Amino acid sequence: MENVTEILEGLIDRHGLTHVVTGLSLICAEKAEHIRQNWQDGTTAKAWDADAKTLEKAAHLICTDGK
């Protein structure tokens, strides 16, 4: 079984770093919404939203850096 690092490396090789980080951002945002709606846990959802925003900013920086 591949480890997470190898899987991520493959995704980056196939799709590019910007797309992988953007995808992670979207996953975090969707997780936040799921937690908010199904568990009514605003604190945890807020943490996932913050992670989504951080990754979104990182993707933008990577994109403008040309990667």
Residue indicated by tokens 């925003």: 53
Q: Does residue 49 surpass a pLDDT of 60?
A: yes
The residues, any chain, with a CB within 8 Å of residue 10's CB and separated by 6 or more, are 2
Q: Does residue 67 surpass a pLDDT of 70?
A: no
- Confidence at residue 62, expressed as pLDDT on a 0 to 100 scale: 95
Rounded to the nearest 10°, the torsion over CA 22, 12, 34, 29 is: -20
- Confidence at residue 65, expressed as pLDDT on a 0 to 100 scale: 77
Token couple for 22: 């953007």
Q: How many domains does the chain have?
A: 1
User: What is the domain extent for residue 23?
Assistant: 4-64
